[in-house]
Homo-oligomer: A and B are copies of this chain.
Amino acid sequence: MTASNSQRPICIFCEIIAERLPASIAYRDQDWLVLMDIHPITEAHALIIPTRHCAHLSDIDAAGRQALFDLAAATMAAQESAGFSIGGANLLLNDGIAANQHIPHLHLHCIPRKNGDLLAFARRMVLRTVGIFGFRVSLGRLDRIAEKLAPLIKVRAI
């Protein structure tokens, strides 16, 4: 089905999954993708998305939730191993338009943190929350981060 005869508007994440749009991918399996956020709140800010289009956490079942949060734990561990987080990380799910979900395809934010980054973090978080995303980071730079994370995302080992 092409976009022109689909009832659903084009979904950026579905386009990335179908490799019709570029993205920096740190992990991929049949059901899930970890990609680098193109407007990162902090360096190595990652998004976990299902390969099957759905909008909300309530659209996936218990097995899906387990896979999602196992992958989140593995991604957080990888971010820490690679030195992108020191002393903390935020997991954030904006679920629904009222909750500032700007792309209607389920995505879980894994945001590495370092001591002393609070002001920059808060400023970028507020701007994103109100829909101001700022400058994109180049795909080349995000690719290098994804390449660092990829061998460290060990879902089975967690």
Measuring CB to CB, which residues of chain A are less than 8 angstroms from any residue of chain B? 57-58, 62, 65-66, 68-70, 73, 76-77, 85-101, 111, 113-115, 117-118, 121-122, 125-126, 129-130, 158
**Can you list 18 A-B pairs, Cβ within 8 angstroms, ordered by A?**
A62-B66, A62-B70, A62-B158, A69-B69, A76-B95, A86-B98, A87-B97, A88-B96, A91-B92, A92-B93, A98-B113, A98-B117, A99-B113, A118-B129, A118-B130, A122-B126, A125-B125, A125-B129
A38 nearest CB across to chain B (Å): 21
Oligomeric state, in copies: 2
A95→B118 CA distance, assembly (Å) = 14
Whether B69 pairs with A98 at a CB distance below 8 angstroms is no
CB contacts (< 8 Å) of A111 on chain B: these are: 99
A114→B100 CA distance, assembly (Å) = 10
CB contacts (< 8 Å) of A65 on chain B: these are: 66, 69-70, 73
A49→B91 CA distance, assembly (Å) = 15
Whether A73 pairs with B58 at a CB distance below 8 angstroms is yes
CB contacts (< 8 Å) of A73 on chain B: these are: 57-58, 65
Whether A89 pairs with B96 at a CB distance below 8 angstroms is yes
Contact of A99 among B77, B90, B98, B130 (CB under 8 A): B90
